[in-house]
Amino acid sequence: MLRPVLILLLSLAWSSSGPGSSGVSENSRGHGRPRFSETPLLPGPEVRGKVIGLSFNDFAAFGLTDAGEIFWTRDSVRWEVVDFNEAYRGYYQPVRFVGIAAGKGSVAIVGTYEKTGAPAMFVSSRGNVWTERGLTYSQGEELFELTETPLSVRADLERDEFVITCTDGVLFFVPPCSHCNRKEYHGSD
């Protein structure tokens, strides 16, 4: 994780001290202006994927990449990164994630299991340890599993629950209570 920080700082150091460097570039008319690379940048997280989601709560700012990396920072300087599928290889099935949401005291990531395409949701309080959240719901006295594909997730802070937007016009509500998930259909028909 620190390599990119070093690389970034090193690059900053070297870019500011490169041969013949005057810190100023000249355009074709000879007018100087500061180089973009001299603008002080805070180091970012070392991730290989493309960022597909960002969310914030009282604890940290969280992000998600399309490579299944979750990253977060509490001070914009130090970044933590967890490559979910790598960290949990052999313990959770690989997941293709689509969204992240930070709520009260926890952050959620949703997606689908790569092998089966079934919906998946995981939660964490601080980013380092991830717990699977079951996506069952009651209908009458029977329990069912969510089958629709998650598209995104958001945190409803007022109701203290996560809301997963799924295919087929389905909204899936995930409150703190483990067996109180609700599935609602909000299609146009």
Partner 1 sequence: MNPKRFLGILTLAAALAAVFLLTASKPSADRKSKSATPIYLNTSYSFEERAADLVSRFTLEEKQSLLGNSMAAVPRLGIKAYNVWSEALHGVLSGANPSVGIQGPTSFPNSVATGSSWDPELLRREASMIADEARAIFQTGTKGLTFWSPVVEPIRDPRWGRTGESFGEDPFLSARMASGYVRGLMGDDPKYMKAVPTAKHYFANNSEFNRHVGSADMDSRDMREFYLYPYKELIENDALPSIMTAYSAVNHVPVSASEFLLDRVARRTYGMKGYVTGDCAAIEDIYTGHYYVETAEEATAEGLTAGVDTDCGSVYQRYAISALEQGLITMADIDRALVNMFTVRMRTGEFDPEPMVPYTLMPPSTVNSERSRALAMEVATRTPVLLKNENVPGTSDKALPIDLSKVKRIALIGPQADKVELGPYSGRPEESSRISPYKAISEYITDKGLDIEVTVASGASTKSKSNLLYIGYFETVKADGTVRRYDATQYTASSEGITVGSGMGDEEQVRSIDDGSWTAYANVDLVDVEQLTVGANIPTEGGIIEAHVDSPDGNLVCTIEATRASGKRAGGVYGTSTPMTEKVLKLGINDLRTLYLVYKAPEDDEIDPAIIDDAAAADVAVVFVGTDENTATEEADRLTLFLPGNQLKLIQAVAAANKNTIVFMQTLGCVEVEEFRNLASIPGIIWTGYNGQAQGTAAAKVLFGDVNPGGKLNATWFKTVGDLPHITDYTLRGGAGKNGRTLWYFDKPVSYEFGYGLSYTTFDYSNFRISKSAITPDDKIVISVDVTNSGGVDGDEVVQVYMTTPDAPAALQRPIKRLKGFQRVTVPAGQTKTVDICIDCSDLWFWDMDADRMTFDQGRYVFEVGSSSKDIRGTVTATMSGRLTPALKTVVADCGRSVLRAGETLMTNVTACLNDDSFISLADAKVEYTSNNPSVVAVGKDGRIVANAMGVATVTAKVTYNGTVASGSYAVKVMPELTLNSLKVDGKSVLKPGANQYSVVRKAGAAPVVTATAADPSLDVVVKQADAVPGTAVIRVIDYITGDEADYYVGFGTKAVSDEFKALGKQWEIVREDKAAWSVQNGALTVVTGEGDVTLTNNNARNIFVQSANTDWTAETKLSTSAVPGNPAQNAGLIAYADDDNFVKLVYAAPAFGRGMPMAAPGAAPAGSIQLVAEEGGYNKATVSVSLADIPVKDNTVWLRLVKSGSGYTAYYSVDGKKFTKAGEASVLLKDVKAGLVACEGVRAAMGGRGGFAMPQAQPAQPSPLKVAFDWFHIK
Write out the residues near partner 1 by the rule CB under 8 A.
2, 5-6, 9-10, 12-14, 16-18, 21, 23, 78, 87-92, 104-106, 116, 123-126, 128-134, 138-143, 159, 176-180, 182
> Could you write out the DSSP letters of every residue in 92-113?
S--EEEEEEEE-SS-EEEEEEE
| Per-residue CA distances from 153 to 6, 42, 55, 174 (Å) | 34, 28, 10, 10
Closer Cβ to partner 1, 33 or 91, answer by number: 91
Q: How far apart are the first and last CA of the chain?
A: 49
Strand partners, 107: 102, 124
CB of 89 to partner 1, least distance (A): 8
Closer Cβ to partner 1, 15 or 167, answer by number: 15
Closer Cβ to partner 1, 76 or 125, answer by number: 125
Cα–Cα distance, 134 to 179 (Å, whole number): 9
CB of 84 to partner 1, least distance (A): 11
Cα–Cα distance, 101 to 154 (Å, whole number): 5
Closer Cβ to partner 1, 59 or 152, answer by number: 59
Helix or strand (DSSP H, E) at 130: none
Cα–Cα distance, 172 to 170 (Å, whole number): 6
CB of 54 to partner 1, least distance (A): 21
CB of 32 to partner 1, least distance (A): 15
Closer Cβ to partner 1, 17 or 28, answer by number: 17
